[in-house]
Amino acid sequence: MKVIRAKSAGFCWGVERAIDIAREFARKGRHPVYTDGPLIHNRQMMEVLTGEGIREVGDYRSESRVEVDAGAARDAVMVVRAHGISPERREYLKSLGLEFRDATCPDVGIIAGKVRLHAKKGFATVIFGDPRHPEVIGLMGYTEGRGRVISGEADIDALPDLGDKVCMVSQSTMFTDEFERLAARLRSRFPAALVFDTICGATKDRQSDVVELRKQGCEAVVVIGGRHSANTVKLASLVEREGLPCFHVETAAELDLAAVGRYRTVGVTAGASTPAFLIDEVCARLSELP
């Protein structure tokens, strides 16, 4: 079997940066290193990080109260993950009395900055994304109560009259073509709307690489990553949109070797939270197939 690995497979720079920040504290003996919710959406990598003294507290959406060791304040640190958080959540975490380090992805920080700037100017904000995703929950905190989340045309049609001052951004991991289609629909309702394409470069690269795998002759694609990882799930969806069989796995152990073994050329890609060691294991297992 010929195995073609997508160039963009694996950690994006924002996730890698957050991991490096947490690990640097752990290496310096700052235990425990708390993260508000899972640092990344990959169970296997979280197990590795837990073994290094990095502890997840709170919940996936960064909404619940957190429990920290009462006697650990002197050495412990609280790290904000790459998804970012709302201003209210930031103040709450700082009130815990631990050293605070914000590891929000700079790309997400730019989105938050655009939302905050325009909200202060009186704009209503429309966010294309998943209302339950922690990135969107965090961004909504900057809208000053004038934020709306949309995921399809019906949501735009159901919006109330937002006036002349409307801006639109996107969760960083969405499909580019869907964003453009919805932006056009929004402008049909609010012609003066300001539209900012805030889908991050790493997401666009992964989406482009799926198309490239098809062009390179891949007959099927294995997508590696957590089943709760937004960008991984979208990669799997994109493979199917390209008309290719998709095998979404978290580890090499989940590979259906009999099914994937029917193909001569198979592509491999992975979400932004998937560590290289998992990708290496999947590629090695596929390469063993005749």
How high is the pLDDT of residue 69?
80
Topology (CATH) of 13-104: Rossmann fold (3.40.50)
pLDDT per residue as tens digits for the range 117-171? 999 999 999 999 999 999 999 999 999 999 999 999 999 999 999 999 999 999 9
H helices of the chain, where?
Answer: 13-27, 43-51, 87-94, 106-120, 134-140, 153-157, 176-189, 201-215, 230-241, 257-260, 276-287
- Where does CATH 3.40.50.11270 sit in the chain? 13-104
Residues 6+ apart with CB under 8 A from 177: none
- Where does CATH 3.40.1010.20 sit in the chain? 2-10+201-287, 107-195
What CATH number has the domain spanning 2-10+201-287?
Answer: 3.40.1010.20
24, 52, 135, 178: the active-site residue: 135
Task: Say whether 135 is catalytic.
Answer: yes
CA atoms of 241 and 253, how far apart (whole Å)? 26
What is the distance, to the nearest Å, from the Cα of residue 230 to the centroid of all Cα atoms in its chain? 6
CA atoms of 31 and 145, how far apart (whole Å)? 37
How high is the pLDDT of residue 74?
78
CATH 3.40.50.620 fits 107-195, yes or no: no
Six-digit token string for 269: 């890609």
Q: Do 47 and 94 contact (CB within 8 A), yes or no?
A: no
pLDDT per residue as tens digits for the range 40-96? 889 899 999 999 999 999 999 999 999 888 776 678 999 999 999 999 999 999 999
The reported pTM is 0.94
